[in-house]
Amino acid sequence: MNKRILGLDTGTNSLGWAVVDWDEHAQSYELIKYGDVIFQEGVKIEKGIESSKAAERSGYKAIRKQYFRRRLRKIQVLKVLVKYHLCPYLSDDDLRQWHLQKQYPKSDELMLWQRTSDKEGKNPYYDRHRCLHEKLDLTVEADRYTLGRALYHLTQRRGFLSNRLDTSADNKENGVVKSGISQLSTEMEEAGCEYLGDYFYKLYDEQGNKVRIRQRYTDRNKHYQHEFDAICEKQELSSELIEDLQRAIFFQLPLKSQRHGVGRCTFERGKPRCADSHPDYEEFRMLCFVNNIQVKGPHDLELRPLTYEEREKIEPLFFRKSKPNFDFEDIAKALAGKKNYVWIHDKEERAYKFNYRMTQGVPGCPTTAQLKSIFGDDWKTGIAETYTLVQKKNGSKSLQEMVDDVWNVLYSFSSVEKLKEFAYHKLQLDEESAEKFAKIKLSHSFAALSLKVIRKFLPFLRKGMYYTHASFFANIPTIVGKEIWNNEQNRKYIMENVGELVFNYQPKHREVQGTIEMLIKDFLANNFELPAGATDKLYHPSMIETYPNAQRNDFGILQLGSPRTNAIRNPMAMRSLHILRRVVNQLLKESIIDENTEVHVEYARELNDANKRKAIADRQKEQDKQHKKYVDEIRKLYKEETGKDIEPTQTDVLKFQLWEEQNHHCLYTGEQIGITDFIGSNPKFDIEHTIPQSVGGDSTQMNLTLCDNRFNREIKKAKLPAQLSNHEEILTRIEPWKNKYEQLVKERDKQRTFAGMDKAVKDIRIQKRHKLQMEIDYWRGKYERFTMTEVPEGFSRRQGTGIGLISRYAGLYLKSLFHQADSRNKSNVYVVKGVATAEFRKMWGLQSEYEKKCRDNHSHHCMDAITIACIGKREYDLMAEYYRMEETFRQGRGSKPKFSKPWATFTEDVLNIYKNLLVVHDTPNNMPKHTKKYVQTSKGKVLAQGDTARGSLHLDTYYGAIERDGEIRYVVRRPLSSFTKPKELENIVDETVKRTIKEAIADKNFKQAIAEPIYMNEDKGILIKKVRCFANSVKKPINIRQHRDLSKKEYKQQYHVVNENNYMLAIYEGLVKNKVVREFEIVSYIEAAKYYKRSQDRNIFSSIVPTHSAKYGLPLKTKLLMGQLVLMFEENPDEIQVDNTKDLVKRLYKVVGIEKDGRIKFKYHQEARKEGLPIYSTPYKNNDDYAPIFRQRIKNINILVDGIDFTIDILGKVTLKE
């Protein structure tokens, strides 16, 4: 019997596929068809650093939105100031033009009002200082304008507003922002200044330019609101004016709800998942765990569930405010007594044995615990007794509705003050209880089930049922209806009979009895009169259908539906699944596969063996033990230092571990670190990322150290340690790390094993080797991060994570089509582990034992797909047998075993697959696409379509223009710290600045000297931070728009930028004086964006490029886009043999560059390398070996273009156009 198999190798930007047939009689495979698709990644890779394209776009959008909101705020404040005559007059039309057209009002009076001048004593900080301490005469225009200028200055920068719902690092008490705010408040107090304006004016008055005022974190309420209130009080402003100013300056839109992004419930697809902080979910989670606990006591013969008394005994452990999470050992201790318990699989003998390890983490009920501390153990009744909003339209609220109200307030109120107000007035709490209520913080994660379903489960979980058993009962009350279920006799009858079916069901008898689901449905249908289809609503524990069943198209062919689902929010995974859909659907259309085809998908996860799993578990146990020791040490040292008690957090423990690793010193400055320098309020030292996250660093402990806050913020910034001027000193401080891992390597190498060794001894040595290797990896990784001069490509872990996610969802997606006709649960989709694929590659001769996998040619994806297709249960069994025989052979018994291949010439055929492989490059042209979104109008929601530029229009840097010796030169501002070589100083525009810098660094180490402060005027504290430099490479920049304030010099009136990439190249060809002549026209992304705007009148041109060339009027021959595929020929297109794949393979290239002088770069379709490739400028020759990259002028190229002269489908089939 033959069986068809589809093998899939999914990746973040690739999909290799292969179809093979298995011949049962011949016991071999046959290769039927194969292919490879390369597509754009869902991430941006620049200089080896990966970043999310969506995050990058969102970041730029957020900045634009911030500028827009700030402009609106200023306009609203100016309206108030104009209304009360506190600034020069501005008409509504002036402010409207600024709002809509960004045309800033530029009346002389307004410019004079805003202008600062040290000579005239005009300074906004001085104005704020006067308004705080001097009662101004508001009948005098100058004093009114002073007050207005102070208020307008408050508007421009209004500080950080803490949001109790914000869980980001900035909002944490020990985060960078709040630590900076605390530090500023301390400095103000030490300077004797109550108000921020006073303090900043004092700094400016005493130190001038020597101190930078704005480089500080400020708080809106503590600093700006406090100062605003003081100014209003001092100047005795009217309540109407204060109210208008308060609204204009301090109003802030609430955070946009992200509720729409929450996934759907597993059982009720129309319901959103429940927040994991809801008290009902906390009870659900607790009961699921408690019901699973089993114990074997001194008088028990085997493990048993907990008794009612035992459950009551451990329940209080879940409601401890101090321990939102705890170890299972707390439960064991409560039930068995101190040191009288053990895990059932431990060799140690104790009176009580449990089915959980003692280190197993257990989630508590933190929300409920905090509510109990305020309202008492019967907290729900406590709320009902004090809650004032008990009425609703149709009567009184139920107890559950009142509890939900209180939880919703805790979950949604962003202001602590409003929460306190609710506690005072709606819950009638006293001041102390209201303070406790306002401090409750909820987690913002989500469960897998909806609140509706959780409440259906709870009655059955409270009876002690397992989750799997409760799932069968949960929806029965809904199925049979209230009338039947509320009848005690009926309810008892259902519980007994369904319980008997559930508890006594034997899966091994499924073929005879049917599934448990079928038995329950039959019982309900046979005993009660139910509507048609009612029993289909029965819940089942395996109801995790991410995708609906595939449907047939108009021709009766099954096709995969859209992979879009609420369960997947990862754009990288989604892009891969869309390509997978196109490939599989095309294979189905061409009848190469059908729904009965077996599908093998590689899961790119590490396949750990038993010894490695044990080593990981042991190391985790050791770390847990070490962390508990650190907790005790922190308590002890902090008490000795401060005389105060402290309860260390997980962050404190991590800091302490880093402190120990660094021998109590800062690795960057060499300073001694004390316990109170990093633990407690306002720490001087905090956790930093060695490789900054902004350049690809992760948040693993390997990438973390304790560092001086100011050094990290002002000097290190986003630099690598190797880029710092004191790098050599840093390396000296981490020398012990290097010594440590080198010593560990020696210890690891001693843990050798050999054939014939006792298995127990051998296992111990292997486990020890694994543990030592983990230690080596940690210390070596930590050390090498300090020596990296650049972040290598692939350093980030994102791609590996992405592959695992893609393959996991690909498996779920494919199961919607490839399953048995009678049951979706009988899937034809099988998992092949990534490590297994690598092992089979080596055993079948595709890769040497210790050779690193070659990724230079895209064909390796296809080779993997063929390997994956040929891996089944038979192959795993053969591998196991081969290893057993090999072990026997090593012991000197038996002959050397051979591992059979899928077919006789498998190795040769697969290694030569590239000769017949057309790699399809999917590069969609997104530029013509328009944004579509639903907008709310008076007629309801309408689908709106707008203008959108797809792709980067130009590089980010703006260039200035100056005239030198009659020539326009372009300049750019550069931070002085960015200079790496002395010769770069020659590009500095200002000769005086250049000379000052050269004198300051003379006779010094350049790297170190340039990092030190260099003054233009040291007496006045004027630092040189940035300098204007000639941008010698910029000759013809793009002018994108005019400056707001136009210079008298025409060349200074535009914003100058440099083009990043060109969108299209049009080639024109014709006869001029009987000679074939070619011309070209280049379309930049900016020009393309203008053309594709919906508002553009497209009747002017029928095409994005003219139909004839400008110089000779030659007709348009073809158009080339970035990413487009072409087929090359030498003299005549008739040379191309469309039916000969080997001929096509050497001709297929991809457009990867369009240069401004009309030269085009073509990259070979199988070429996977990204750099270091030889570039050929000679014309294409049929008999030459392939060139990795061609860079040719238009006169030398002879090509057919995909989409114009031919098409290539997703499977790699080429068809010439008529």
Which residues participate in catalysis according to the annotation?
9, 689
Please enumerate in sequence order all residues whose Cβ is within 8 A of that of 613, keeping only pairs 6 or more positions apart, or say none: none
- Contact between residue 943 and residue 997 where contact means Cβ atoms under 8 Å apart: no
Token duo for residue 678: 């990093």
Determine which helix (DSSP H) or strand (DSSP E) holds 833, and give its type and residue range: strand 829-833
CA geometry: angle at 222 spanning 219 and 225, to 5°? 95
Q: Please, which residues have CB within 8 angstroms of residue 792's CB and are 6 or more apart in sequence?
A: 48
**606 annotated ligand binder:** yes
Compute the distance between CA of residue 947 and CA of residue 928 in angstroms, rounded to an integer: 10
Which residue intervals of 946-1065 are DSSP H helices?
A: 991-1001, 1006-1011
What's the Cα-to-Cα distance from 836 to each of 20, 607, 843, 861, rounded to whole Å? 19, 8, 10, 15
In the numeric block, the tokens 């006045």 are attached to 1020
Rounded to 5 degrees, φ, ψ at 968 are: -85, 120
Cα gap 731→728, rounded to integer Å? 5
Maximal CA-CA distance, the chain: 110
- Which pairs from 22-28 meet CB under 8 Å and 24+ separation? 22/872, 25/1, 28/902, 28/903, 28/904
Question: Coil, strand or helix: which one is 940?
Answer: strand
Q: What is the 3-state secondary structure (H, E, C) of 566-589?
A: CCCCCHHHHHHHHHHHHHHHHHHH
108: Cβ contacts below 8 Å, ≥ 6 apart: none
CA–chain centroid gap for 562, Å, is 23
C-alpha to C-alpha distance for 176 and 158, rounded to whole angstroms: 18
1043 is in an annotated binding site: no
Instruction: Indicate the burial class of 569 (C-beta count within 10 angstroms; 0-12, 13-18, 19 or more).
Output: exposed
Asked whether 14 and 602 are in contact (CB, 8 A), the reply is: no
Any idea what the Cα angle at residue 694 is, between residues 689 and 695, rounded to 5°?
90
Would residue 514 be called left, alpha or beta, if left means φ above 0 and alpha means ψ between -120 and 50 degrees? left
Tokens of 150: 């102070």
* Contact in structure between 1058 and 957 (CB atoms under 8 Å): yes
Residues 6+ apart with CB under 8 A from 1052: 960, 961, 1043
State how far the Cα of 767 lies from the Cα of 617, in Å rounded to an integer: 10
1081 carries a ligand binding annotation = no
Place of tokens 């409920």: 368
Residue 517 and residue 825: Cα distance in Å, rounded?
13
Neighbours of 489 (CB within 10 A): 7
Q: How far apart are CA 978 and CA 973, in angstroms?
A: 11
**Per-position DSSP letters for 184-229, written without gaps between them:** HHHHHHHTT-SSHHHHHHHHHHHHGGGS-SSSS--BIIIIIIHHHH
> Do residues 856 and 1168 touch, judged by C-beta distance below 8 A?
yes
- Where do the DSSP E strands lie in 897-1018? 919-922, 931-937, 940-946, 960-964, 967-975, 1015-1017
CA 1112 – CA 1104 distance, rounded (Å): 19
Indicate the residue type of 920: V
Assigned token pair, 692: 């900054």
**Residues forming beta bridges with residue 1055, ordered by sequence position:** 1041
Give Cα 592 to chain centroid, integer Å. 38
Q: Would you say 861 is a known binding-site residue?
A: yes
The pair of structure tokens assigned to 854 is 């070659």
Show binding-site residues: 9, 602, 606, 861
Show binding-site residues for Mg(2+): 9, 602, 606, 861
